[in-house]
Structure 1
Amino acid sequence: MNDLTIDIATSKDLPILNCLYADMDNKQLMSEEKIAEIWNEIQQFTNYYIYLAYLENKAIGTFSLLFVPTMMHRGFHKSAILDSVAIASAYRSQGWGTKMIKEALNLSTNAGCYKVTLSSNITRKRTHNFYKYLGFQQHGWSFSYQLQQV
């Protein structure tokens, strides 16, 4: 198995990110204007990073991490939110997702986080089993309130 490298995405990577996100759920690509608008908004947040995973200089996956300060737990000052995990369909079920998530956990540990949380659509049983395999545990219930149509 070749080595996977993971780097922080930059604005020049927007077309790659757009393709990875669309491939995740067989959706249409976003317009260049829309993805640039979202990128610019994300850049306003400190401690929010989008990563790209490369195999032999080809981007095959992505994930985002948001490091959030908290006063809730003494001795710990941050938690991480793992989001927007996607791997190109041609590279799924080959161990690359495992390597990506393990790197996300290492990055979170190095940032001083005491936990990493994520959410997953309730219908994605295979994905849930993947996260459990990696050591994630279901913790409580996740709730959302839909404010507008996406």
Structure 2
Amino acid sequence: MDGLIIREAREADIAAIAAMFAADDVGGHGDTTDEAAMPDYLAAFRAIAMSTLETLYVAEFDGQVIGTFQTVILTKLAGRGAVWMVVEGVQTREDMRGRGIGATMIRYCISEAEKRGLSGVQLTSNMARIDAHRFYEKLGFEKRHFGFRLKLK
């Protein structure tokens, strides 16, 4: 998509990012566009921004935030100290899907991991997102593990 920019997120992007998550009916993370929740998003943004291992990105087109993803650099003892990029929170604004934005975001992650000499890129996807699974497989990802989650609050 010509004119698409991938950049680090800024505080001014928080409302647009939260709106993408709130519009996601599969995720079930309790995201909202309610102003009362903005301090929670701001605190999370600031924690991510302070981290040397985490980065929150946006995809911007024509001055609008239309996609987002987050990366975490994870050093594992297993694999003799393998360092992987973990990709989380991949979202494209609903009205912009099907235009290659998600592929551009994931290819950006892969390119960054290659530049850093990392061992690989991994991500998880909700089991209900069958279309997303096909999308990731088209980009070269393999289904290799089965994930578990325990929600505490």
So what's the TM-score if we normalise by structure 1? 0.87
The match for 2:90 among 85, 96, 110 is 85
> 1:69 and 1:132 mapped to 2: Cα distance?
24
Percent identity (aligned): 24
Contact 2:21/2:32 (CA < 8 Å) preserved in 1? no
1:66 aligns with 2:72: yes
Deviation of 1:77 after TM superposition, in Å, equals 4.4
**CA deviation profile, 1:9-63 (whole Å, cap 9, x unmatched):** 1222212221222223385325211111222232343220010111222211000
Single out whichever of 58-67 and 7-16 deviates more from structure 2: 7-16
Cα distance, 1:133 vs. partner? 1.0
Question: Which residue of structure 2 aligns with residue 17 of structure 1?
Answer: 17
What is the aligned residue count? 147
Which residue of structure 2 aligns with residue 36 of structure 1?
42
Offset from partner CA, 1:88-128 (integer Å, 9 cap, x none)? 00110121111111111111222321111111111111111
Q: Which residue matches 1:143?
A: 148
Structure 1 alignment gaps of length 5 or more = none
Deviation for aligned residue 1:129 = 0.8
Aligned to 2:56: 50
Alpha-carbon distance change, 140 to 94 in structure 1, aligned in 2, over 3 angstroms: same
TM-align CA RMSD: 1.9
Letter in 2 for 1:2: D
Equivalent residues in 2 for 1:78-117, closer than 5 Å: 78-117=83-122
CA contact (8 A) 1:67 1:108 kept: no
Instruction: Read off the aligned partner of 2:72 and give its amino acid letter.
Output: L
- Tell me if 1:7 matches 2:7: yes
Q: 1:126 aligns with which of 90, 112, 131?
A: 131
Work out whether residues 24 and 87 of structure 1, in 8 Å CA contact, stay in contact via their aligned partners in 2.
Answer: no
Residue 15 of structure 2 contacts residue 33 of structure 2 at CA under 8 Å; is this kept in 1? no
**Does the aligned pair in 2 maintain the 1:77–1:112 contact within 8 Å?**
no
Q: Which runs of 4+ in 1 moved over 6 A?
A: none
Q: Assess if the C-alpha contact under 8 Å between 2:21 and 2:91 holds in 1.
A: yes
